[in-house]
Amino acid sequence: MRTDDDSGMWSIGELAERAGVTVKTVRFYSDRGLLPESGRSGGGHRRYGQGALERLRVIRTLRGLDLPVAAVGRVLDEQDALEDVVAGQLAEVGGRIAELRWREASLRLLQDCTAAERAERLRLLAAVSAPPDTTVLARFWRRTLPVRFPARLAAAVVDAAVPPLPEDPAPAQVLAFARLHELVSRAPAPALHLADLPHRPTVLYEGLAEAYELGTREMSGGAPPSPGAALDGFVAAYAGALGARDTRAFRRRLAGLMISGFDPVIGRYWQLAGEVAGDRAGPTMGAVHGWLCGALKTGLKEGGQGRPAPTVPVWGP
């Protein structure tokens, strides 16, 4: 007499035993169409073959990696689906890891502090998610840009102004972001750059992008603020936007504009943005702007004409 095992057909219990799972598990995947039956016994009981055992092992592996049942079904039924499903799962896992790291840093921020500090930190943390959403920062900077400003330039400004979030934040970076979030949430709409002067914003921002790139290289290399190609590009951007020539008189005027246009909120923004990004991210756009202003001051001093150049604060367009 031939048994089920001899025929290569197993009952649901035999398949479960061979796969090292419960009968309930086999039935679950069968009912959802992931584990087709090979046939039925005379009494109407399910029967499975060798292919079902191999398929069940694949299902267990994928489910062990936390893939949803629907995604497992795609992998089993679509030959090229595995790569897309794995990529999606990796993105989801990365998001969960980022959330856990921000939560851990937030908890450490609350761990060792005074009662007054804890109360303030709890208030600040209540307004941000983990990991945080930078939309409010982007919205803040879009309000500083002129109406009908080119979309490509607006995107570039926002990308440069919103600090990158650290993958593994320190508690101090979490606190800096929470303070930055509160700053832009409460601050009134910042004044448009050079709003009181007739100028061409597109010319200004296109020129500043090139000057900032040169200035970033200088700063990253440890160079002190000094005249050179970066400063020349910086001055040329403002001169072109204002319809002026790059003269010593214009440079003195520009130094004055940097002082009169200083906004404490913007200055605080760049300070906190630098703390959020950390040293590895390189200088912020505001830090580069400050370096270029310092170079402008140095150049005016070295010119030896007129009164000493005024102190130029760290600012940013």
- CA separation for the pair 282, 160 (Å, rounded): 11
- List the structure tokens of 12: 């649901």
pLDDT of 300 reads 94
> Hey, which residues does 39 pair with through a beta bridge?
47
- CA separation for the pair 31, 34 (Å, rounded): 8
- List the structure tokens of 196: 């009181």
pLDDT of 266 reads 92
pLDDT of 183 reads 96
Task: Map tokens 């992998």 to a residue.
Answer: 75
Q: Tell me the one-letter amino acid at 230.
A: A
pLDDT of 1 reads 34
Task: Map tokens 């906004």 to a residue.
Answer: 263
Q: How far is the CA of 250 from the CAs of 199, 255, 256, 301, in angstroms? A: 15, 9, 10, 14
> Dihedrals φ, ψ of 72, to 5°?
-60, -40
> What's the maximum distance between 2 C-alpha atoms anywhere in the chain?
113
The number of helix segments (H) and strand segments (E) in the chain equals: 14, 2
- CA separation for the pair 127, 178 (Å, rounded): 8
Give residue-wise pLDDT tens across range 14-57: 999 999 999 999 999 999 888 887 777 766 778 888 889 999 99
**Total count of residues recorded for the chain:** 317
Query: What angle do helix axes 285-303 and 248-260 make, rounded to 10 degrees?
Result: 140
pLDDT of 302 reads 83
Q: What is the sign, positive or negative, of the torsion defined by CA atoms of 124, 126, 131, 134? A: negative
What secondary structure, in 3-state letters, does 148-201 show? CCCHHHHHHHHHHHCCCCCCCCCHHHHHHHHHHHHHHHHCCCCCCCCCCCCCCH
pLDDT of 50 reads 87
Q: Which residues of the chain have pLDDT under 70?
A: 1-8, 42-43, 303-317
The DSSP code for 223 is P
| Total-model pTM | 0.78
pLDDT of 308 reads 42
- List the structure tokens of 21: 């799972």
Contact 208, 292 (CB under 8 A): no
- CA separation for the pair 278, 303 (Å, rounded): 36
pLDDT of 150 reads 94
The DSSP code for 43 is T
**What's CA 38's distance to the chain center, in Å?**
50
